[in-house]
A and B are shown apart, each in its own frame.
Chain A
Amino acid sequence: MNKALGAAAILFSCFFSALRYLHMRSEKIQQMQALGKSLLELRSELAERRRNLGDIFYSVAGKNGIDRIKSFYEGLHGKLCDLGERGFSEIWREEAGRCFAPLGRNVEDLLFPLGEYLGGSELERQCAALEKAAFRLEEECQREKETLKREKKLRLGLSLSGGAFLVIMLL
């Protein structure tokens, strides 16, 4: 009886860790999608309302339910109220690094140059840069989804067979 329970526990924990990993990956994809959406929101606010960036960041933060993204825009809003000696692109880079490092190097590389455009003066270039970044983020999401699909079967299969192997060895 004890052996059977132990075997079940091993199998379950292997399966659970694989599920947890997959869940984290899909959460990352969700966050990337929400980030892309927020960039498009930023773009439309910029294009239509012609308000200050600080106000726009505040408004976009309010519309976003994902903590990481909300914190990013709130951070930008806060720092814009007191720019000090730093330029906007520096602040953007700092906040993007702080909030989006867990989403991977590709996302950071995609976001960092946006600060140069957003701190600039040409609305058309700003909007184009935001659209491009959102598009590339969407591409990145698709790639991640395909990788996740492939890995899903592999991870679950490996965890179950690994768990079964452990059980056999222990029995």
Chain B
Amino acid sequence: MDAFEAALELMPLKYSAEIRSRKAFLPEELRLRVGQAPSLLYHGEEHPLGGGKVTEDDLVRVLEKATGASLYSAAEAMRQGYFCVGTLRIGICGRANTGGSGTGFSSYSSLCIRLAREYRGICADIAERLCTPRFENTLILAPPGGGKTTALRDLICTLSNRGKRVGVIDERGELSGGVFDLGRCSDVISGLDKLSGALLLLRSMNPQVIAADEISSPNDLQAMGEIFGCGVGILASAHACGREDLMKRPAYRRLIENAVFTRLLVIRQQRGKRSFTLEEIA
């Protein structure tokens, strides 16, 4: 089942028909906000749908369906704001609740269901350049929803199919999604944070490249520091519109200044089309 069909199964019936009618637009996200009409994100814009306003009960039903009525099992991930179910990534907003062992939300106000897709070969030429003359640590940059994970997935697959042993730290199962092909030489560790995952891969899998999606927390940055200098390449992604943007954040600036990353792959979006620019950091 593709991501679109999986998302459709979670939706309340009252919205199903209209969502299905827009499948051809290849929606990237499905958004539900309490008190508003649901909407689909495609061609870079949100498009509202009919079927009535969304209620909090609708959001709870979606979460119940997504977790098999076992919200507690996704609580750990939900406290970070999102969790993954197969090829879907479900982001949550609501009334934050810091106490207790639950999801971190005492009520829900919005859900953002991101539909992961596999675009094979979009980074094939980039992968070629990444390995010339030899693989250099590369950080993929794009704003949220800019295609970082899709590009990283394709790069992993391409490098791996070219014979590079790629250790993948798939913290929440978003990269592999349970269905995506990450290549013949990839070893995927999921369910661990990036630091623990990196150490485990280094110890046990003899990787040539370690890949990780969305490095953002201090723990993630520490993981990059641990890998750096071990003779293993790093391929990671981070939120930023470009190099200038990245350098505004002290933690990332340190990574660049310490030459942990020597190349940046910047993804830009213009009129719904994505372009990839590989920049060398002098």
Name A residues whose Cβ lies closer than 8 Å to a Cβ of B.
46, 50-54, 80, 83, 85, 87-88, 118-126
What CA separation (Å) do A50 and B60 show in the bound complex? 20
**8 A Cβ contacts from B102-122 to A:** 102-103, 105
What CA separation (Å) do A53 and B57 show in the bound complex? 20
With contacts A124-B101, A126-B72 taken as known, whether A52 is within 8 angstroms of B13 at the C-beta atoms is no
* Interface residue B70 (Cβ < 8 Å from any Cβ of A): yes
Residues in B with CB closer than 8 Å to A120 are 71-72, 102
Residues in B with CB closer than 8 Å to A121 are 71-72, 75, 78, 102-103, 105
* Interface residue B47 (Cβ < 8 Å from any Cβ of A): no
With contacts A85-B12, A121-B78, A122-B100 taken as known, whether A53 is within 8 angstroms of B61 at the C-beta atoms is no
* Interface residue B22 (Cβ < 8 Å from any Cβ of A): no
Contacting pair A122 B61 (CB below 8 A) = no
Name B residues whose Cβ lies closer than 8 Å to a Cβ of A.
12-13, 57, 60-61, 64-65, 67-73, 75, 78, 100-103, 105
What CA separation (Å) do A119 and B103 show in the bound complex? 12
What CA separation (Å) do A136 and B26 show in the bound complex? 53
Residues in A with CB closer than 8 Å to B60 are 87
Contacting pair B68 A53 (CB below 8 A) = yes
A-B pair number, CB within 8 angstroms: 60
What CA separation (Å) do A114 and B103 show in the bound complex? 19
Contacting pair A83 B101 (CB below 8 A) = no
What CA separation (Å) do A56 and B12 show in the bound complex? 26
With contacts A52-B67, A122-B100 taken as known, whether A85 is within 8 angstroms of B72 at the C-beta atoms is no
Residues in B with CB closer than 8 Å to A126 are 72
List 20 interface pairs A-B (beta carbons < 8 Å), by A numbering: A46-B72, A51-B70, A52-B68, A54-B70, A83-B61, A83-B64, A83-B65, A85-B12, A87-B60, A119-B71, A120-B71, A120-B72, A121-B72, A121-B78, A121-B102, A122-B101, A123-B75, A123-B102, A124-B100, A125-B100
Q: Which of B70, B71, B73 has the largest count of A CB atoms less than 10 A from its CB?
A: B70
B94 to chain A, nearest CB (A): 11
Residues in A with CB closer than 8 Å to B68 are 52-54, 80, 83
Contacting pair A52 B73 (CB below 8 A) = yes
What CA separation (Å) do A69 and B57 show in the bound complex? 30
With contacts A52-B73, A80-B68 taken as known, whether A85 is within 8 angstroms of B61 at the C-beta atoms is yes
Residues in A with CB closer than 8 Å to B73 are 50-52
Contacting pair A122 B72 (CB below 8 A) = yes
Chain A to chain B: the 7 pairs with minimum beta-carbon distance, closest first: A122-B102, A121-B71, A88-B69, A121-B103, A121-B102, A52-B70, A52-B68
What CA separation (Å) do A55 and B106 show in the bound complex? 26
Instruction: Give the residue of A52, A54, A87, A123 whose beta carbon is less than 8 angstroms from that of B61.
Output: A87
What CA separation (Å) do A109 and B63 show in the bound complex? 27
Contacting pair A87 B75 (CB below 8 A) = no
Residues in B with CB closer than 8 Å to A54 are 68-70
Instruction: Give the residue of B65, B69, B105 whose beta carbon is less than 8 angstroms from that of A53.
Output: B69
What CA separation (Å) do A51 and B78 show in the bound complex? 16
